[in-house]
Amino acid sequence: MSIKDELNLVKEELSSDEKILESAFKLERVYKKYKFLIWGVVIGLVLFFGGRAAWGAYQQSKRLAANDALLTLMKDPANSAALDKLKTNNPALFDLYTLSTAMKKGSVDTLKGLESNSDAMIADLARYHAAVWQEKTTDSTYYHDMSVIEEAYLALKAGDKAAARSKLALLDENSPVAKIAQLLRHYTLEGN
């Protein structure tokens, strides 16, 4: 290699080092100018993600405590400490558990209390089951076909076969309760 080539190689190395040094100085100037903003963003991101992780861990611990309380209540329904723990940690699950136990026991007062629940599904199911236990009719969003069957049954029980037939006509052939409706329609025939 000639001296001229070596000199060009050294110049290229120096110019590349000079460019790196120049970009480092530019970066330092930008850092000095926006130092507080950069640190504010970094601290904000750390707080945001740290807060999300802490909130997630808190929510997970509440879910686990509610699940433990529910499992305890499954074994010992009279455990008031577990009932309070469930109510505190997961009010929606507490309402569902209350609905389930009220439906099993036929506790109309508890079901009537749940009719004003903020969860529309729990309120609807409580209203339907309270009406069934009281042998009354009600319209249900979730048990619509069953409420029609119940209305037809109560009409038959009262001796009003025409009303029962008109109620049963509202049900679709593909309904899950179509077989029950067919049996009730058969019962409403004039000969019976």
pLDDT (tens digit, 9 = 90+) per residue, 98-149?
Answer: 999 999 988 899 999 999 888 999 999 999 999 888 888 888 888 888 888 8
Tell me the mean pLDDT in the region 184-188. 79
**CA Rg, the chain, in Å?**
36
Q: How confident is the model at residue 191 (pLDDT cuts 50, 70, 90)?
A: very low
Q: Is the pLDDT of residue 190 over 60?
A: no
Residue range 80-108: mean pLDDT, rounded? 92
Single-letter code of the amino acid located at 74 = M
- The answer, as to whether pTM is greater than 0.85, is no
Contact 108, 80 (CB under 8 A): no
Query: How far is Cα 161 from Cα 106, in angstroms, rounded to an integer?
Result: 28
Cβ atoms within 10 A of the Cβ of 107, count?
A: 17
